[in-house]
Chains A and B, each alone.
Chain A
Amino acid sequence: MEKPLTQHIVPGRAPLSLKEYEKVGGYQSVRKILKEMTPQEVQALVKESDLKGRGGAGFNTGLKWSFVPMGPDAATPKYLVANADEMEPGTFKDRVLLEGNPHQLIEGMILAAYAIQASISYVFLRWAYKVAAREITKAIQEAYDAGYLGQNILGSGFNLDMHLHTGVGRYMCGEETALLNALEGKRANPRAKPPFPQVSGLFGKPTIVNNVETLCCLPHIVNNGAEWFKKLGLTVDAGTKLFGVSGRVKTPGCWELPMGTTIREILEDYAGGMQDGYLFRGLLPGGASTDFLVEEHLDLPMDYPSIQAAGSRMGTGTMIIMDDQTCPVGFTLNLQHFFAQESCGFCTPCREGLPWVEKILLAIDKGEGKPEHLLTLDFHTKYLGPGNTFCALAPGAMEPLQSALKYFREDFERHIHEHHCPWSKAKAWQPSI
């Protein structure tokens, strides 16, 4: 099985230095495009490869790039930003790539920057990823020293500077326009679209924000071609994907597997199945802001259309498993506390609605719930849904709530009728502060 993104990553071993990375073919794709391809040809290749954004939205990467103004009249400087602000609860895939092979990310960023003719690039990194910060700093310096970054790269006339920016903690920064505000030294509120960042992004200039895993796919697509990349996937979607599993499974972890690998295979063959004494009840397929899937969905392939058809989203591809000894109300409360806390407060439905949802769930969890509370939760899933809020945070928060109310409604009702949490009180969750 081909594992292009993680082939040079060995857990516990330091990442490859630039010299070592070059020996295994590193930066060949940069040499290739600078010599043989126009920016438009790189865009066309990536579009043809059907690479979809790995940050969660799943939009065709080449198509996203194609909205950047090109040619001599385009505004400059243009920017490329690697979104390494991995903060979706239950998600730990970009950490693997950032700590394990930073040169692969830098190589991908040079390709993306060339494709849109950006001259300044940023790695927007989560503050918590200290090892990654150290390795990326080292790798960027090595890339400058070797002439892959800076002025007139490899004599091609193409210039690219790269900076590492470490954030100071806020989930909103993962939203691309909020991330741009954070980079500009502002509150990370999302921006109105249009204008889209491709036209008016960082400091009002054309900007592309791509997820780390997306960027790491690029060298392999340039080296091996669009057809090769498409064939890596088992179903309709192209490439490999970093899938992760956390929760009460025997061997939680993160693995690079073909797009379209079934949930059951990931859960049983890679995560080792449930721990002894725990039964599977449900899972969030791609982070905290995706709808629950249950037993009947386990044979679905993990690809964008299959998971969407089942009423959820593949999101980041890192699954969170809910076992039978975890209270579904407590589980949902934990998620809603997170979203209420991380709401930027800019738009009213999100700022007011999420704390209301959290309060109701807390009441239900404490045995103080009333039957009408479920109806209040139901209408919130509509009122905070897509189209009613300024950005995708609140609609994302509603995804696990609406599906918990659908699949685990009896558990919510038991809390209300029995006036207490049927699960161990030791596990009853109280929000912090």
Chain B
Amino acid sequence: MLTAEEKHQIDHEISLVPAPKNACIEALKIVQHNHGWISDESLKDVADYVGMSPAELDSVATFYNLIFRRPVGRHVILLCDSISCYIMGYEGIKEALHKKLNIQYGQTTADGRFTLLPNCCLGTCDCAPALMIDNDLYRNLTVEQLDEILNKYT
């Protein structure tokens, strides 16, 4: 069920575009912001609200890298795996994260704290390697810094 507040926010987005379905990505963002991901139930709720079939909306939702159709942890780690970070040795960071968190790409820690995902170029190539956790960008990464960074997130 969409909450009254979610409906209010989605209504605002709909008011800016010619047809309700044009606001579907914004609607998914609003719901994901509250739930962390888009469940089948949320997908159907949003589809009904903006006048699309669930299948049509899912074709949009699954197209984009940052709409999560599976549950994620409380914090999402996005590790840049593009070319400048490759040159600067991001694999060392990746291996260290795998070991520290005991998860591979696409997995969530047993305590639900972190999900680890690879990510395309974060646009900070002069400070490679880089990663983002939630809204925070970390650059010029070394393996030694990882514990301190991860400890900020509970």
Chain A residues with CB under 8 Å of chain B are: 86-92, 94-95, 126-131, 163, 166-171, 182, 184-188, 203, 244-248, 252-254, 284, 288, 318, 320-323, 326, 330-331, 334-335, 338, 341-342, 344, 426-427, 429, 432-433
Contacts and interface: CB of A to CB of B under 8 A. Distances in A.
Contact of A171 (B81, B120, B126): B120
Interface string B99-111: 0000001100000
Contacts of B86: 326, 330-331, 334, 429
B91 A247 contact: no
Nearest to A183: B22
A330 B89 CA distance: 12
Contacts of B84: 89-90, 246-247, 320
Nearest 9 pairs between A and B by C-beta? Answer: A169-B65, A246-B125, A432-B118, A252-B126, A89-B82, A169-B66, A168-B64, A89-B121, A246-B84
A186 B52 CA distance: 11
A326 B90 CA distance: 13
B126 A254 contact: yes
Instruction: Among B28, B59, B81, B86, find the residue whose CB has the most chain A CB atoms closer than 10 A.
Output: B86
B64 A169 contact: yes
A260 to B, nearest CB: 22
Contacts of B29: 166, 168
B83 A323 contact: no
B77 to A, nearest CB: 13
A246 B128 contact: yes
A185 B65 contact: no
Choose among B24, B66, B83 the residue with the greatest number of A CB atoms under 10 Å from its CB.
B83
B124 to A, nearest CB: 6
Interface residues of B, number: 45
Contacts of B65: 168-170
Interface stretch (B1-9, B13-21, B143-151): B13-21
9 contacts: A86-B123, A89-B82, A90-B84, A90-B121, A130-B135, A170-B63, A326-B86, A326-B87, A427-B89
B55 interface: no
Contacts of A168: 25, 28-29, 64-67
A282 B44 CA distance: 50
Interface in B134-154: 135-137
A127 B121 CA distance: 12
Interface of B: 16-18, 21-26, 28-29, 59-60, 63-67, 78, 81-84, 86-89, 91, 105-106, 118-128, 132, 135-137
Contacts of A203: 17-18, 22
A429 B91 contact: yes
Contacts of A166: 29
B25 A185 contact: yes
Contacts of A334: 81-83, 86
A345 B85 CA distance: 26
Contacts of A87: 120-121, 123
A129 B64 CA distance: 16
Contacts of A252: 125-128
B67 to A, nearest CB: 5
Nearest to B22: A185
Contacts of A171: 120
Contact of B60 (A95, A187, A244): A187
B121 A91 contact: yes
A287 to B, nearest CB: 9
A272 B83 CA distance: 20
Nearest to A323: B87
A284 B125 CA distance: 13
A49 B66 CA distance: 39
A182 B132 CA distance: 23
A321 B64 CA distance: 30
Contacts of B137: 128, 130-131
Given A187-B59, A188-B63, A342-B120, A244 B82 contact: no
B22 A184 contact: yes
A247 B82 contact: no
A248 B63 contact: no
B55 to A, nearest CB: 13
A105 B17 CA distance: 23
